[in-house]
Amino acid sequence: MKKADTTVKALNIYISGIVQGVGFRPFIHRIARKSGVRGTVRNMGGSEVEIHVEGTNEEINSFLQLLEKEKPPPAIIEEIRLEESSFLGLEGFSILKSGKSRVRPSMIPPDIGICDYCLEEIKDPKDRRFRYAFNSCAWCGPRFSLIEKIPYDRENTTMRDFPLCDYCKSEYYDEDNLRRFDAQGICCPLCGPKLWLVNASGETLDSQDPITEAAKLLSEGRILAIKGLGGFHIASLATDDSVVLELRKRKKRPQKPFALMALDIETVKKIIYLSEEAESLLKSPQKPILLLDEREDSPVSRHVAPGLDKQGVMLPYTGLHYLLLEEVEDGFLIMTSGNPPGKPMCLDESCALTELKDIVDYYLMHNRRIINRVDDSVLRFTDGNLMFLRRSRGYAPSWIKLPFSLRRPVVAFGAELQNAGAVAFEDKVILTQYIGDTDEFEDLQELEKSLTFFLKTYGIDVRESILVADMHPSYSSVRLAEAWSEELGVPLIKVQHHHAHAASVMADWGVRMEEKVVSILMDGVGYGLDGSIWGGEVFLANYSGFERVGRLKYLPMPGGDLATKFPVRMLIGALSVFSKREEIEKIIVERGLVRGLKRGMSELEIAIKQGIGGRAMKTCSVGRFLDAISALLGICLERTYEGEPAIKLEASAKGGKIRDVESILTKEGDLLVVDTTRLLLWTLEHLDLPLNDLSATVLYALGRALGEIAVQSISGATLNEVFIGGGAAVNSYLFKGIKDALAGEDLAARLPRRIPAGDGGIALGQAAIATANDVNLEG
Ligand SMILES: [Zn+2]
Ligand SMILES: [Zn+2]
C-alpha cells in the first residue's frame, strides 16, 4: 500500500474570467463528484469563483484536469490561483449562495449565441423543444439584453414574465441536468415567449406557424422587421437585385453595406473564403459579424456591399434565426439593424410599428421584453490581425481590466460618431455597447441611458466620480458631459481625441502608468490643440500627456465640412498646395470628376478659390488625404457613410503590387512631417499603372512614412513597441507599411485587440487619461 494515496489535503482555487452566468458552478459540482473531491463552490464578487476542494492528490489532480477539459463552452478562464487551505473534513460537495460575502459586484454577463446542444434540440422532432425559437440553456442565450439588475438571476431579467412550467422546473432543480440545472434563462413552448406575425397595417395575422409564414414572405421578396435578441433586424433576400435596391431606397441607405446571416458554415462557404480561424470565430459563443473576402462566384447581389471586396456574414445566434433561415431557400438573408435613419434600433413592438412602417411589409414579433439595446458586433482581419469595427453583442458589457487602479470612478462620454461611452471603477472599464452617432438626439439619449444603467447597476455614486469627454467644442457628447458636470458638481476633464486613441491601445495592451510610448494615430476627424483638424499623428505619449512628434502635412479643406462629404473638394484642396488654378481645373475636368461636385463647373471655380485662398480650414487627417486619392482615382465621389472613400480605396487595392516611392518625409521645425502632396504628385505621374497598384502603393507608402517617424522617435520611449490606433488603423495596407518600417528596427506594431480602433474604443483611453490626471484636480 502506498502511503501518499491516502493523504488528504485541501486547496482553495480562485478562478477569474467569464465564469458567472454560464453554468460554471453546476459544472464544478459535477466534476467534483466525478473526481471524488469534497468541498464547496461559490461566486465571489467581480468575475471570480472560489472553490474549496478536499481529497487525495489523485482526486484533486483529476479535478483540476477536468476543470480545463470539460468547462462549459462559453466560459473563459483567464486566471487560476491555487492556495493551500486547511482541511475541514467536509462531506459531499455543495454550491454556496453568493450571499453576503459578496464584496464586489459581479459582472453583467454578455449575451451568448445559441449553443450546438440547444440547436440539436430544436432540430429534433422527438424533443420537447422541437422548433422552439427561444430555446436556451446555462451555456447560451440572452443575458445583458434582458437584465434589469445584477446578479444574473431569473427574477432580475425579463424572463421573470415567464414562470417555469413543471417540466422546466424539474430540469432547473435536477443536479444531474448539466445544461439546465440552475440555468436562469430556460423555457419551453409551454412556458416561454411566443411569436406572432403582423401585417403592414399593424394587424396581427392568424397564423399557426409565424416562422414558416415569415420565411415564405421573405422568399417572395418581402421586407420584414424581425424582433431578435437585442433589438429589431430588417430582413430581406440578398440574392435579388430589385429587393436589395428596394430596401436601400426605403432605408435611405444608398451604399453602406448590409450584413448577411447564413444558416450554417456550408452556406457561408458559398459566399466568402473561410479560414479556420474565421470559422471558429463565426461559431464562437459571441457569434459576431465577420467581414471576409467574397468569392468570385458568390450568389450575393452586388448591391449588398457595393464597391467592396468583402461581405459581412454571421451565423444564426438564436433559435428563431436558425428556424427562419432553414425555411428560406437561399439559406441566407440580409439582416441589417432595424432602425429608422439616424435613430437607434427599435426595441419594442410600438417602436417598430411606427418607426419602421415605411421600410417593412410585415413584422415578426415576440413577447420577451428587451431591456438593453444590443447591436450585432462586427470584426475584420487587418493583415491577419483580428480587429473590432463594432464591439457590442456578445462582448459588451464585459469589462476590461486596467494595469492600474482608479483613484475614483470615471464616466467617459467617448467621441461622437459610432460612439460608445464607459463607466470605470477599481481597475475595470466597462465600455457600453455600441451606441451610434451621438450627434443624433436619440442616440445621445441612448448614451445617457446606458451610462446611467451601468452606474446604477454597479452601485456607483456619480457625485464621487470624475467625468471625461472629448475636446471638440461642438460634440453633443461633450455638451452632455458638461451638463452632468454642472448639475452634479463633478469635475470634467477634456481630452485630446488622438491622445485618447493612443491611451486606448496602450490600456488594451496593459501598458503601465510609468511608461512612455510612441503611438501612431490615423483617422478622419479629431479636434487638434491648434484649432485645425488632426488625424495623421505620431505621438510620444503616456497616460498623463503627449508630445506631438510627427504628422501629415496640413491640407486645406475647401468648404470645410463640405469637403468631408464630397471627396473631390479634398482633392482640389490637396492639389492647390502645389498647383495653379488652371492645372487643378484641367485635372478635375480630364478625370471626369466634375460630377463629384453638386453644382458642377461653378462649384469647381469656387472650390479652387477656397483651396488656393489660404483661409480654408486645414487638416492633416489620414482619412481626408485618402478621400482625395479616392476621388482622384474615381473610386468614390460622394461619401454616404463614415469612411466610405477610404474603405473603397482599400477594396480597390486588392491584389495590387506595391511600387517604389521616394521618401515622403520632411521636417517642419522639430516636427517630422509626411508630405502627402508628394504622394499625390507620384500618383498623378503614374496614372497609367493598374488601379490596384496605385491604391496599394499610396496606402502602403503612407503607412511606411508614419512608421519611419515612429522609428525616429523611439529613443524618447521606454518600450520597443508602437501603439497604433484610430479608425484607419484597420486598413491592411496602411498597417503593413507601418509594420515593415518598424520591423527593420525590431519594434513591435501593436493594434487594439479587445476594443475598436475607431471612436467606439476611445472611452477606454479617456478613462485611463482621466485617472492619470486626477491628482491635479480638486474635489
Ligand atoms: Zn444552449
Ligand atoms: Zn417550460
Alpha carbons 716 and 327: distance in angstroms, whole number: 61
Question: Closest ligand to 159 CA?
Answer: 2
Mean of pLDDT values over 582-593: 98
Q: How far is the CA of 113 from the centre of ligand 2 (A)?
A: 20
- The alpha carbon of 128 and the centre of ligand 2 are apart by a number of angstroms equal to 9
Q: From the CA of 173, how far away is ligand 2's center (Å)? A: 13
Nearest ligand, CA 186:
2
- Using omega within 30 degrees of 0 as the cis cutoff, is the peptide bond preceding 151 cis? yes
Whose atoms come closest to the Cα of 180: which ligand?
Answer: 1
Rounded Cα gap, residues 477 and 419, in angstroms: 9
**Ligand in nearest proximity to the CA of 136:** 1
Confidence band, pLDDT 50/70/90 cuts, at residue 90? very high
What's the pLDDT at 76? 84
Task: Name the pLDDT band for 103 (thresholds 50, 70, 90).
Answer: low
* 115 C-alpha to ligand 1 centroid (Å): 4
In this predicted structure, what is the pLDDT of residue 98?
A: 67
**How large is the angle between the packed helices 600-613 and 581-590, nearest 10 degrees?**
140
| Mutual angle of helices 622-632 and 644-652, in 10-degree steps | 60
Q: How far is the CA of 192 from the centre of ligand 2 (A)?
A: 6
Interval between CA 48 and ligand 1 midpoint (Å): 22
Question: Separation of 225 CA from ligand 1 center, angstroms?
Answer: 25
133 Cα–ligand 1 center, Å: 12
Centroid of ligand 1 to alpha carbon of 368 (angstroms): 18
Quote the ligand 2 centre to 369 CA distance (angstroms). Answer: 18
Q: How far is the CA of 188 from the centre of ligand 2 (A)?
A: 4
Of the bound ligands, which one is closest to the alpha carbon of residue 128?
2
Residue 99 pLDDT > 60, yes or no? no
- The percentage of residues in the chain with a pLDDT greater than 70, rounded to a whole number, is 98
What is residue 115's predicted lDDT score, i.e. its pLDDT? Answer: 95
- Phi and psi at 621, nearest 5°, equal -75, 140
If you average pLDDT over residues 563-582, what whole number do you get? 97
pTM: 0.95
Cα Rg of the chain, angstroms: 28
> What pLDDT digit, counting tens, does each position of 529-567 carry?
998 999 999 999 999 999 999 999 999 999 999 999 999
CA distance 692 to 635: 11
pLDDT at 149: 86
Task: Say which ligand is closest to the CA of 118.
Answer: 1
Whose grid coordinates read 480545463? 68
Residues 6+ apart with CB under 8 A from 677: 553, 555, 574, 577, 578
Q: How far is the CA of 619 from the centre of ligand 1 (A)?
A: 51
The ligand whose atoms approach the alpha carbon of 135 most closely is 1
The ligand minimizing its distance to the Cα of 113 is 1
Which triple of cell numbers denotes residue 676?
A: 502627402
Amino acid at 9: K
For residue 191, the ligand closest to its alpha carbon is: 2
Q: Where is average pLDDT lowest: 4-18, 319-333, 538-552, 582-596?
A: 4-18
Q: Please give the distance, rounded to the nearest whole angstrom, from the Cα atom of residue 240 to the centre of ligand 1.
A: 34
**C-alpha distances out from residue 111 to 4, 470, 545, Å:** 46, 30, 36
Instruction: Determine the pLDDT at residue 779.
Output: 42
Q: What is the mean pLDDT of residues 296-314?
A: 98
C-alpha–C-alpha distance, residues 210 and 193, integer Å: 13
pLDDT, tens only, 341-356 = 889 999 999 999 999 9
Distance 162 CA to ligand 2 centre (A): 9
| Pairing assessment for the beta strands 224-227 and 400-401 based on DSSP bridges | unpaired
> Distance from the CA of 22 to the center of ligand 1, in angstroms?
10
What distance in angstroms lies between residue 191's CA and the mean position of ligand 2's atoms?
4
Instruction: Give me ligand 1 centre to Cα 144, in Å.
Output: 16
Q: Dump pLDDT digits (tens) for 124-165.
A: 999 999 999 999 999 999 999 999 988 888 999 999 999 999
Q: What pLDDT, on a 0 to 100 scale, did the predictor assign at position 6? A: 77
Centre of ligand 2 from the C-alpha of residue 129, in Å = 9
Buried b (16+ CB within 10 A) or exposed e, 703-719: bbbbbbbbbbbbeebeb
| Segments of 216-304 assigned E as strands | 224-227, 232-236, 259-262, 289-293
Whole-number average pLDDT of the chain: 95
Ligand with smallest separation from the Cα of 162:
2
How many angstroms separate the CA atoms of 72 and 49, rounded?
14
Q: Report residue 370 as a C-alpha cell.
A: 428587451
Cα–ligand 2 centroid distance for 167 (angstroms): 6
Answer whether residue 101 shows pLDDT above 60. Answer: no
- The confidence score (pLDDT) of residue 765 equals 98
Q: What integer is the mean pLDDT of 462-487? A: 97
Please give the average per-residue pLDDT across 641-659, as a whole number. 97
Ligand 1: centre distance to CA 399 (Å): 23
Kindly give the distance from the C-alpha atom of residue 74 to the centroid of ligand 1, in angstroms, as a whole number: 10
pLDDT at 211 over 60: yes
For residues 753 and 635, what is the distance between their CA atoms, to the nearest angstrom? 30
More confident residue, 107 or 173: 173
Q: Provide the pLDDT for residue 66.
A: 95
Ligand 1 centroid distance, CA of 38 (Å): 28
pLDDT of residue 124: 98
Q: Please tell me the number of the ligand nearest to residue 129's CA.
A: 2
* pLDDT given for residue 46 in this prediction: 66
Ligand 2 center to residue 437 CA distance, Å?
Answer: 40
Predicted pLDDT at 505: 98
The pLDDT value given to residue 777: 58
Ligand nearest the Cα of residue 163 is 2
Which residue reads 487560476 in cell numbers?
80
pLDDT tens column, 22-53? 888 889 988 999 999 999 998 776 678 899 99
pLDDT band at 176 (very low <50, low <70, confident <90, very high): confident
**What is the distance in A from the centroid of ligand 2 to the CA of 155?**
16
pLDDT digits (tens, 9 = 90+) for 440-449: 999 999 999 9
The answer to whether 699 touches 731, Cβ cutoff 8 Å, is: yes
CA of 172 to the centre of ligand 2 (A): 10
Q: Which ligand is nearest to the CA of 168?
A: 2
Residue 59 has pLDDT above 60, yes or no: yes
How close is the Cα of 132 to the center of ligand 2, in Å? 11
Closest by CA position to 766, among listed 450, 456, 486, 526: 526
Interval between CA 12 and ligand 1 midpoint (Å): 30
pLDDT number for residue 674 = 98
Which ligand neighbours the alpha carbon of 22 most closely?
1
Residue 755, pLDDT above cutoff 60: yes
What spacing in Å lies between the alpha carbon of 164 and ligand 2's midpoint? 5
